[in-house]
Amino acid sequence: MPLLEVVQTRHINAYIRLLDTTAMQVDQYAAFIKASADDVIEQALAYVFSKDRDFQEFLKSAEAQRITPTLRVRRAPGTEAAEQLPKKPANGAANSSTSAASAAGSRA
């Protein structure tokens, strides 16, 4: 059994607008925890999504599956075929801990 489990994750680029004060605080928090701004936003959203019980119930509803996406995702040319292929962890083990934030998260 390997000592390390390396899980390949799929990151997307998405454009969001923030208030200038919020953007500054994201950068300040990133410096505070010695992480990237992307990591701060990813983890903050994952935390909120996991703690909001009403949202967790909404995710179980049929309405949650019928939403109209509003996140502006930038697609690189020629990557659409690759995006349809399922990503597997490097060691072949399945990882079911992918959060909703990962699916809707942003990477710059």
Q: Is residue 63 part of a domain?
A: yes
pLDDT greater at residue 100 or residue 37 = 37
Q: Is residue 40 part of a domain?
A: yes
Tokens of 106: 């942003």
pLDDT of the residue at 78: 62
Q: Is residue 61 part of a domain?
A: yes
pLDDT of the residue at 1: 80
pLDDT of the residue at 80: 53
Domain count, the chain: 1
Q: Show the domain range for 22.
A: 10-75
Tokens of 27: 């950068």
CA separation for the pair 99, 52 (Å, rounded): 13
Q: What is the pLDDT of residues 35-85, one digit of tens each?
A: 999 999 999 999 999 999 999 999 999 999 999 999 999 877 765 544 444
CA separation for the pair 44, 38 (Å, rounded): 10
Residue 29 near residue 40 (C-beta atoms within 8 A): yes
Residue 46 near residue 101 (C-beta atoms within 8 A): yes
Cα separations in angstroms, 100 against 18, 23, 43, 67:
20, 22, 11, 14
Q: Is residue 87 part of a domain?
A: no
Q: Is residue 92 part of a domain?
A: no
Instruction: Report the residue count for the chain.
Output: 108
